Structure 1
Amino acid sequence: MKGLKFKPLVLCLAVTPVAAVAEIQMLDDSEMGAVTGQAGVSIELETKVNIDEFRYIDEGMLAISDIEIGGTNRTDLFPEFRTNLTSHPASDLIDNIRIDIDVLADGDAVINVQPVPILGAVDLRVSTGEWQLRGTTDSTTILDNFHMDALLGSATIRVDTQTDYLNFRTDIAIDDLEFDAPFIAVGIRDLRLTGDEYDIDEKRVLDLFATVELDMYRGHRADGRDALAIDLQEFRSDITIGGVLVGETSIGSVALDDLVITDTAMRVYGH
């Protein structure tokens, strides 16, 4: 405690007016709650992520190379709207996003992710190189040339203290998704995903997005032991695939109208 100077501290206390000291009062817990944390925290984010290689190691290994996550560097996503749906200049950064973090009166934690400005959308590009299964002597490339350009309308993460559930909800529209699966000689080109009500001839921005909602919590597997529980509440979308390649030759296109997935529950655990 050599750095603490007692004499100046004592002098300051000595010259403090008695009336001023009398005004200092301790706050109880309820008053402290009213003073602190009312506004929450907001973060405006600008970022780009590059990973040379991700590896999941078991007895063998799954390795994903050349991972890039950032902006699309485009202003023509869903060109049928003839406008820039992000309301931002082209960039390879995720740069039009705001994260609001709040802890509510009941203890629930809420994280809202939304575009800036609020009427825009967040553009997102994810691309990778090879996805390889590697053993001690052999390897197989199961996926390659993965590329996705998408728009995010919003996202919310909520941790409920009453149920101990983590609820995740997001609105997403995929303008272009492509990949190759070399080990079965199949390729996918120009995949688009939109909301199930979206009509390109009577296009409305609010219909463009498909909503994904998940609940995650501690559940139980078949033998009664703990597992990570993931429940998909409901997913509705339209999907079109511009080209399906088999042996590097297109065999045509595919369309799924009003795809609905409900009552889906997964239990994840180690073995």
Structure 2
Amino acid sequence: MKGLKPTLLALCVAGVPPAAVAEIQMLDDSAMGMITGQAGVTIELETKLNIDRFIYTDEGSMEINDIFVGGTNRSDLFPELGVNLMGGAAQETDLLDNVRIEIDILSDGDAIINVLPQVFGAVDLRVSTGAWNLTGTGGSTTILDNFNADILMGGANIEIDADTDVMNLRTDIAVDDMDFDMPFLALGIRDFRLTGNTYDPVRNKNIPDLFAKVDLDIYKRANSLGVDSLAIDLNSFNADITMGGVLVGGTSIGSVFMDDLAITNTQLLVYGH
């Protein structure tokens, strides 16, 4: 009780009935050290993000214009299922909503973060941008434009291991529709769709199979020069991918389907040079 001023303690006790005072037992410092919190933190999220322009500068610059992150404002994602996967009309907005984030610190120091829907249904997410421009003294070019992706997230789990200093990220995602242009290549992609590798819009409409599962480890590791770098290990990623239209010079040259795409044992090191 060393941290509690005697005057403040007296005022607190003065307001307590005598019978209750008789039951009060003072705790010494060692006993106080054993008192810990038993509940984590829950955050309910509703947001929308707009950025007019994001600029990364090295010697030249890359700028991304008209960035939007929010909700899809749709009820017809994956329409072949015949249901509103967001759970109801309340989620049909341009807000990123229906998100519940639960944060817990375990007794061994590990941090656990679970990202879940607040109510039954998936979390819908729209990401869109305008032009991605490379600029410098020699001129400029547009490498990407008209990007729009409507995404569903079933949930996500982040675990930070206090012993190994590794952050593991696991999430379930599905892309209903993504479109973009690459003007410097005269290339465009339309109706890009990503699902789990066992989902089939005709033969297998099982909703849990709709989502592709991503498993990442993110941590610090030295590169070949012994310099600490950002390490990203893609432990597993399995999906089916459809591109409804591949455009060259504005004309469709056909469609693409990738069945049972599997990416495993993939390691990235990111560092400056």
Q: Are positions 1:226 and 2:228 aligned together?
A: yes
Distance 1:205 1:57 in 2: 43
Could you tell which deviates more after superposition, 186-195 or 17-26? 17-26
**Aligned to 1:212, which of 194, 211, 214?**
214
Q: Which runs of 5+ in 2 are unaligned?
A: 1-5
Instruction: Classify 1:41/1:132 alpha carbon distance in 2 versus 1 (closer, same or farther; 3 Å).
Output: same
**Contact 1:88/1:96, CA 8 A, preserved across alignment:** no
How is 1:189-200 mapped onto 2 (pairs within 5 angstroms)? 189-200=190-201
Distance 1:209 1:174 in 2: 9
The aligned counterpart of 1:203 is 205
Amino acid at match of 2:163: Q
Distance 1:130 1:82 in 2: 35
**Aligned to 2:260, which of 233, 238, 258?**
258
Instruction: Classify 1:11/1:73 alpha carbon distance in 2 versus 1 (closer, same or farther; 3 Å).
Output: closer
Q: Which runs of 5+ in 1 are unaligned?
A: 1-5
**CA drift at 1:13:** 5.7
The aligned counterpart of 1:132 is 133
The alignment-based identity, stated in percent, is 58
Instruction: Classify 1:185/1:105 alpha carbon distance in 2 versus 1 (closer, same or farther; 3 Å).
Output: same
The aligned counterpart of 1:57 is 57
Instruction: Classify 1:8/1:196 alpha carbon distance in 2 versus 1 (closer, same or farther; 3 Å).
Output: closer
The aligned counterpart of 2:72 is 72
**CA drift at 1:7:** 8.3
Distance 1:159 1:99 in 2: 15
Deviations 1:121-148 (A, max 9, x none): 0000000000000103411100000000
Amino acid at match of 2:227: R
Paired residue total: 262
Q: Normalised by the size of structure 1, how large is the TM-score?
A: 0.91
Amino acid at match of 1:20: V
Amino acid at match of 1:214: L
**CA drift at 1:8:** 9.1
The aligned counterpart of 1:149 is 150
SS of the equivalent of 1:199 reads coil
**CA drift at 1:238:** 0.1
Distance 2:58 2:240 in 1: 36
Instruction: Classify 1:26/1:235 alpha carbon distance in 2 versus 1 (closer, same or farther; 3 Å).
Output: same
SS of the equivalent of 2:86 reads coil
**CA drift at 1:223:** 1.8
SS of the equivalent of 2:224 reads coil
Distance 1:9 1:25 in 2: 11
Deviations 1:141-199 (A, max 9, x none): 00000000010000111110111101111100000000000001000000000000101
Amino acid at match of 1:188: I
SS of the equivalent of 1:203 reads coil
The aligned counterpart of 1:3 is none
**CA drift at 1:18:** 9.5
The aligned counterpart of 1:164 is 165
Amino acid at match of 2:72: T
Distance 1:252 1:15 in 2: 81
**CA drift at 1:97:** 0.9
Amino acid at match of 2:57: I
Q: Are positions 1:44 and 2:44 aligned together?
A: yes
Instruction: Classify 1:30/1:10 alpha carbon distance in 2 versus 1 (closer, same or farther; 3 Å).
Output: closer
Structure 1 moving runs of 4+ over 6 Å? 6-9
**Contact 2:76/2:84, CA 8 A, preserved across alignment:** yes
Give RMSD over aligned pairs: 2.1
Amino acid at match of 2:34: E
The aligned counterpart of 1:31 is 34
Amino acid at match of 2:205: K
SS of the equivalent of 2:254 reads coil
Distance 2:222 2:12 in 1: 62
The aligned counterpart of 1:81 is 81
Instruction: Classify 1:135/1:39 alpha carbon distance in 2 versus 1 (closer, same or farther; 3 Å).
Output: same
**CA drift at 1:69:** 0.3
Instruction: Classify 1:9/1:193 alpha carbon distance in 2 versus 1 (closer, same or farther; 3 Å).
Output: closer
